[in-house]
Amino acid sequence: MRSYLDHNATTPVRPEAMEAVSAALCLGGNASSVHNEGRAAKALLERAREQVAGLVGARAADVTFTSGGTEVANLVIKGNKCDRILMSAVEHPCVLNAARNSGKPTETIPVTSEGVIDLKALETLLNAGEGNALVAVMMANNETGVVQPISEVAALAHEHGAVVFCDAVQAGGKMPVNMLLSGVDCLSISAHKIGGPAGSGALIALPSMAIGALQHGGGQELRRRPGTENISGIAGFGAAAAKVAQEPVECRVLRDALEAGVKRVRSDAVFFGAGEDRLNNTSFFAVPGMSAEMLVIALDLAGIAVSSGSACSSGKVHRSHVLDAMSANGDLANGAIRVSFGWTSTKADVDAFLAAFEEINSRAVKPAAGEAA
């Protein structure tokens, strides 16, 4: 029996989402058609819009469905008529790379050693530049789980006439998200992080947020995202959003038990961002002398699925840009692994991880032949 502890990469599809996908596939019909089948597809689309909006405290009319968080990042950053982009150093690669390939002047906002955005540095950058700025700061980091002071970021940005894009992909379903209360102008969310099907996501943007389409076609999704809607994926997204809104992921007990167990085995283990508010399901840590590649592979062989950080590099185990931004010790950064819990996680998963970790550690520190035990 394997233990899946990589929910921040993707979480298993919830039964409610599977049922919704299946029902939508059987329905048929194009949501843009005026006949009965088309109206039925349109009803599913609009119901899902309401469900997704409800999860993030937004209006249904402000939801634009996309293929996922990466498309939203590109849509907002490249489709917005801003003069420059300010982004935190710990953003997801989809935001970093969209900004760097936007053709617009881009500056990086530094973070503290715990991974929290430096608000004074943001203010300096806002004051220093000319023209309208787009500020991109994620709600919670996908590697460390560190939660950013989004309301403060939004207030500061708006004082300087800037607009704020918040990547809430990792935060959705794991912490309270209320777009209107946070003050951001737009945010992104993705179905496969909350138990919906991969390939469906959403941009939620205030009416005042001017975002042009990257593609040209029909008038679907406020003309921001033309093309026939993925009704089955969107229906599954909506069902997952409705479920997680009723039963948010509560994994702090499991995370804390795992971290305490790791500390018992290796008192020198370092947990990144542990001094700040974190998502209750995420632990990003390193043990001196252990490489991330070795740990990920050894745990996988023991039936435990974890990752070395963001699942965005074609399966490669590589050093985290997030830890580099936090000025983490180089050797430790090379050994960092992420354990992330979700709606299927149990105490048995923690026990299995700790048993495997203790065995891996005992092999790693085993005295060489001829040495005293």
Helix (H, G, I), strand (E, B) or coil at 125: helix
Three-class SS of 207-262: CCCCECCCCCCCCCHHHCCCCCCCHHHHHHHHHHHHHHHHCCCCCHHHHHHHHHHH
Dump the DSSP string for 83-106: SEEEEETT--HHHHHHHHTSSS-E
CA-based nearest residue to 346, from 251, 274, 269: 251
Residues with Cβ within 8 Å of 147's Cβ and at least 6 positions away in sequence, in order, are 139, 140, 171, 175, 276, 277, 278, 279
- Of 310, 20, 59, the C-alpha closest to 167 is 310
Per the CB < 8 A criterion, the answer to whether 150 and 137 are in contact is: yes
Q: Which of 94, 166, 251, 312 is catalytic?
A: 312
Give the count of beta carbons closer than 10 Å to the beta carbon of residue 345. Answer: 22
Bridge partners of residue 109, in order along the sequence? 88
Which helix or strand (DSSP H or E) is residue 115 part of? none
The candidate with the shortest Cα–Cα distance to 80, out of 23, 164, 3, is 164
Residue 145 — φ and ψ, nearest 5°?
80, 0
Known catalytic residue at 94: no
Catalytic annotation, residues: 312
